C-alpha cells in the first residue's frame, strides 16, 4: 500500500479522508509536547486563556527531543507513550488540536474525543528516534523553555513516516489487533 502524502495543518476534511491502517508521509509544522507541557497547556485552557502558540488544526507530537548535534536542527526525536497524555488530549482537541503522534494505545476518552472533534491519532515507530529526526528540517522552542527537552517546540517536518492508528470515525488498529 502506497503512503498518502499529507500536509499540516490538518483540516476536518483531511482527517476524515484517513482510515485506520493508512500509511502517511506527513509534512509541514508539528509541535512537540510531553507530560509537563500538556499539564501547563490544559491549565491555561482552564484559566480561560488561548494557546496562542498552537494554531487550529495543529498536530502534537508526543516527543522530548534530544539536543541537536552540530549542523542538525534536532537530536533524536522518537515518540513517547501516548497514554500519559490521555487526561489532557480531549481538552486540547476541544481547543483545536486535530492530530496527535505517539506510540501505544489510547484510552476511551481520547477515542471519543477523536470521533467528536474529527481528529486522528498517528503512530510513529518507537525506537527509531534518530531516523525520525532526519525528517525534521527546523526546530524552535515556542513555549515553556524552562522544561528543557519537554518544552513545546515547533518542528518543520518533511515526509515523517506514520501510520493512522485511530481515525476520525473511531476505527482503532489496537482494537483490531486484540480481536
Please choose, from the candidates 9, 152, 128, 29, the residue with its C-alpha nearest in 3D space to the C-alpha of residue 78. Answer: 128
| CB-count burial class (<10 Å; 0-12, 13-18, 19+) for 61 | buried
What is the pLDDT at residue 176? 59
Element at 5 (helix H, strand E): strand 4-7
Please choose, from the candidates 114, 119, 162, 116, the residue with its C-alpha nearest in 3D space to the C-alpha of residue 14. Answer: 119
What is the pLDDT at residue 131? 85
- Go through 11-49 and write b for each residue having 16 or more CB atoms within 10 A of its CB, e for each that does not: eeebbeebebebebbbbbebbbbbbebbebbbebbeeee
Per residue in 145-169, pLDDT tens?
A: 999 989 999 999 999 999 999 999 9
Query: From CA 95, how far away is CA 155, in angstroms rounded?
Result: 20
pLDDT (mean) for 22-31: 98
Is residue 13 very low, low, confident or very high in pLDDT (cuts 50, 70, 90)? very high
Q: Is the pLDDT of residue 174 over 90?
A: no
- Euclidean distance between the first and the last CA atom of the chain, given in angstroms as a whole number: 22
Q: What is the model's pTM?
A: 0.95
Q: Is the pLDDT of residue 177 over 70?
A: no
Query: From CA 178, how far away is CA 90, in angstroms rounded?
Result: 24
Is residue 115 very low, low, confident or very high in pLDDT (cuts 50, 70, 90)? very high
Query: From CA 52, how far away is CA 42, in angstroms rounded?
Result: 13
Q: Supply the residues annotated as catalytic.
A: 38
Q: Give the chain's mean pLDDT.
A: 94
What is the pLDDT at residue 149? 87
Class of the CATH-defined domain 20-178: alpha beta
| Across 4-13, 35-44, 129-138, least confident range | 129-138
Is residue 85 very low, low, confident or very high in pLDDT (cuts 50, 70, 90)? very high
Each domain of the chain, given as residue ranges in start order, spans 20-178
What is the pLDDT at residue 163? 97
| Across 112-116, 128-132, 160-164, least confident range | 128-132
Amino acid at each position: 500500500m502506497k503512503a498518502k502524502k499529507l500536509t499540516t495543518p490538518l483540516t476536518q476534511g483531511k482527517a476524515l479522508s484517513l482510515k485506520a491502517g493508512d500509511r502517511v508521509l506527513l509534512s509541514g509544522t508539528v509541535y512537540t509536547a510531553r507530560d509537563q507541557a500538556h499539564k501547563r497547556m490544559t491549565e491555561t485552557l482552564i484559566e480561560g486563556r488561548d494557546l496562542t502558540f498552537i494554531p487550529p488544526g495543529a498536530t502534537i507530537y508526543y516527543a522530548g527531543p534530544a539536543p541537536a548535534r552540530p549542523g542538525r536542527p534536532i537530536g533524536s526525536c522518537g515518540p513517547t507513550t501516548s497514554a500519559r497524555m490521555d487526561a489532557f488530549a480531549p481538552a486540547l482537541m476541544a481547543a483545536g488540536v486535530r492530530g496527535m503522534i505517539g506510540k501505544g494505545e489510547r484510552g476511551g476518552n481520547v477515542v471519543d474525543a477523536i470521533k467528536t472533534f474529527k481528529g486522528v491519532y498517528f503512530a510513529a515507530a518507537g525506537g527509531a528516534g534518530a531516523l525520525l529526526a532526519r525528517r525534521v528540517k527546523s526546530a524552535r522552542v515556542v513555549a515553556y523553555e524552562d522544561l528543557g527537552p519537554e518544552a513545546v517546540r515547533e518542528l518543520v517536518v518533511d515526509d515523517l513516516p506514520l501510520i493512522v492508528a485511530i481515525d476520525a470515525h473511531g476505527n482503532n488498529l489496537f482494537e483490531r489487533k486484540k480481536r
